[in-house]
Structure 1
Amino acid sequence: MSFKCGVIGLPNAGKTTLFNALTGLEAQAACYPFCTIEPNIGRVFVPDPRLQVVAQIAGAQKITQTYIEFVDVAGLVKGASRGEGLGNRFLGNIREVDALIHVLRHPRDPGSVGTEVTGNCREDLAIIQYELVMADLETVNNRREKTMKMVKTGERHYKEELSFLDKLEAHLNQGGMARDLMGEDEGSFFLQELFLLTAKPVLYVFNMHEDISVQERQVLREELMHALGDESAEILTLCARLQAELNDFTLEERREFLEGLEWSDTGVEELIIASYRLLNLITFFTAKGKETRAWTLPKGTRAVTAAGKIHTDMERGFIRAEVIPFETLKQESSFVKARDKGLIRLEGKEYLVQDGDVIQFRFNV
């Protein structure tokens, strides 16, 4: 199972340039609407220095990183929910992702001239949010019509669903996002079945011109925070074009290129890690034979399910998991020493895997 982040925004907000910076691919990016038609998909390895440490201790010859997928879809325009631009095609593409990376462009970036970008983060944000809400309202209304027919069966489940749908519809009509209701026990199940666009977690990326000072970036970031209102979302600021150019440089060339500029070369790495965090994911490690590998799991995953991530036979014939936290292993610098000291725990099926666990699964089929 892979985890996908969809890169969205108005046409020419810098989505494809950011995608290229993330993936190192060369998807077409140009300053005109709908340069991207078919979605670009790329796997991005998650930077994690712990993997190298585990590999050194295990004496591994092969290291396999974990990854998440980024999907660069066509720009969204006013009226997309009514079929404008690429309309339903766009909305269908992002319905398949787990989280959204919403790219907003700096108003004074020359690349935004003559495009859909308005130059006002509040207006650009409102356009996207409105179209997502309208698309979700259509989904909710369609589901509501079906549920009303099923209410006649007298089953309590349908009455509860209809009550929640009424509440959800009112919330969306007021401009609210479906994710605002995700924490409510009564509606979480129904929300998951609807696959609503506004239910997806969002990370905001402010794509700025390279000449913008640190002080200006902070002011613009605060403006975006104010525009988001009560939404508690993470905001990153970077220059997508600059980050994409760095892919072709050596470390020494990067230092020379960035000298005098007030940008670091870690913008893409910060975005990858933030996306991982947005999806509520954790990493565990395995060290077997010649390979040390990182694996991705949703937080709160049981050990038996984690075993199935590696192979279905491991899940089917699960016996136990031998677990040592990364920090403990690093301190001992040896699996043998850790085992002799009784630091490797035996855990059963119901154990909840923790971020940084180094695990060996025992199974029999």
Structure 2
Amino acid sequence: MHVKCGVIGLPNVGKSTIFNILTKSKVSSLNFPFCTISPNIGFSQVYDNRLITLKNIVNPSKLISTIIKIVDIAGLVKGASKGEGLGNKFLNQIREVDALIHVVRVFKDDNIMHVENSINPIRDINIINTELIFSDIEICEKNLLRLQKNKTLNKNELVEEKNLLKKCLLYLNKFYLLRTLDFSLKEKILINKFKFLTLKPTIFLINIHKNTSNNIFLDKVKNFLKKDLKNVICPEIIKNNADRDSQNYIELNEIIIAIYKILNLETFFTVGQKEVRAWSFIKNSKIIKVAKIIHSDFKKGFIRAKVISYEDFIRYKSEINVKKAGKLRLEGKKYIVRDGDIIHFLFNI
């Protein structure tokens, strides 16, 4: 599955720099607002030690990691939801991603201008959140108006959508983000169609300075985000302006792993002499759904699958040895795939 993650924040907080680090790109990161207009798109490999271990055992012709698509979205400003700074265009770009990396600047540097003319990360976070909230309020109001005129939905569907939108609107008008609101399973399925911005899983990436004395708001912003602390990252890799080939590579991967966690993703592997490959899937998925990730025909013609746990493969070194040890399993359509499973799909097309 292709995961798409957007990098957001105010202008000149370091979004393009972080995009360049994550994707080994060289997009412009000049010192003026709206240096980025059209979104820059790149890809970041997901480093997984298990893939390297499998390579060393199998010695395949190719080794393929999972990837995450990274989108560098132009800086939002106060009034973006009303069109300020090409705001509506940028908000629509955010609507198309699966998760967000919200970049927050905590350092003071007179050589790097700030769009609000002062360093205040808590204010900056609130500006972004406010614009996302205003945009979602507009989505609620437009869809409620649409439902009033709708003559095709049956009564139950109409009531369900109206109740959900009213619930969201009430919460948003209190200036709360929808990702902090509890929804029933049915509501979670229904709400996806609206692409609400404040529902996007979010990582806060604190952009710090190599001169630690300039990071004057670091503790305050961490305290402000204490409810989201498990999704707050303050990596040295940005401070050091390192690239992907440096010793800080593993720390950089912390960001990618955090994206996996907030999107509830895990990894399975396909292993052969031609190719050892990692694939991402949503946790607790049935194998029939996971088969489609490789090819849509795999789901259509699925018969069963040979499944080996990563630990067993590492212990016995080959599928033949795993089978001799009685650790190879044949699983049907209802099997729930586990993180690290090595799967060989059997299908009839």
Listed as ranges, the gaps of 5+ residues in structure 1 are 255-263
CA distance in 1, matches of 2:155, 2:291: 38
Output one character per residue of 1:40-95: Cα deviation in whole Å (capped at 9) or x when no partner.
11111000010121223223121111111110010000000000002111001111
Shift of 1:20: 0.3
CA distance in 1, matches of 2:218, 2:188: 31
Report matched runs for 1:1-365 at 5 Å: 1-110=1-110, 112-116=112-116, 118-150=118-150, 155-185=155-185, 187-212=187-212, 220-228=217-225, 230-231=227-228, 233-238=230-235, 241-242=238-239, 244-247=241-244, 266-365=250-349
Aligned AA for 1:326?
A: Y
Shift of 1:205: 0.3
Residue correspondences, number: 349
Aligned AA for 1:158?
A: L
CA distance in 1, matches of 2:26, 2:162: 47
CA distance in 2, matches of 1:230, 1:207: 19
Aligned CA distance change for structure 1 residues 212 and 178 (closer, same or farther; 3 Å): same
Aligned CA distance change for structure 1 residues 231 and 65 (closer, same or farther; 3 Å): closer
CA distance in 2, matches of 1:63, 1:186: 40
Listed as ranges, the gaps of 5+ residues in structure 2 are none
Question: 8 Å contact 1:77–1:128 — kept in the other structure?
Answer: yes
CA distance in 2, matches of 1:151, 1:179: 31
CA distance in 1, matches of 2:77, 2:122: 15
The range that moved more, 178-187 or 347-356, is 178-187
Partner SS for 2:327: coil
Question: 8 Å contact 2:19–2:70 — kept in the other structure?
Answer: yes
Question: 8 Å contact 1:105–1:112 — kept in the other structure?
Answer: no
Shift of 1:23: 0.6
Superposition RMSD on alpha carbons, in Å?
2.3
After TM superposition, the score normalised by the length of structure 1 is 0.89
Question: 8 Å contact 2:304–2:332 — kept in the other structure?
Answer: yes
Aligned CA distance change for structure 1 residues 207 and 239 (closer, same or farther; 3 Å): farther
CA distance in 2, matches of 1:72, 1:363: 40
Aligned AA for 2:130?
A: Y
Shift of 1:233: 4.9
Shift of 1:151: 8.0
Partner SS for 2:322: helix
Partner SS for 2:71: strand
Aligned CA distance change for structure 1 residues 149 and 3 (closer, same or farther; 3 Å): same
- Sequence identity percentage: 39
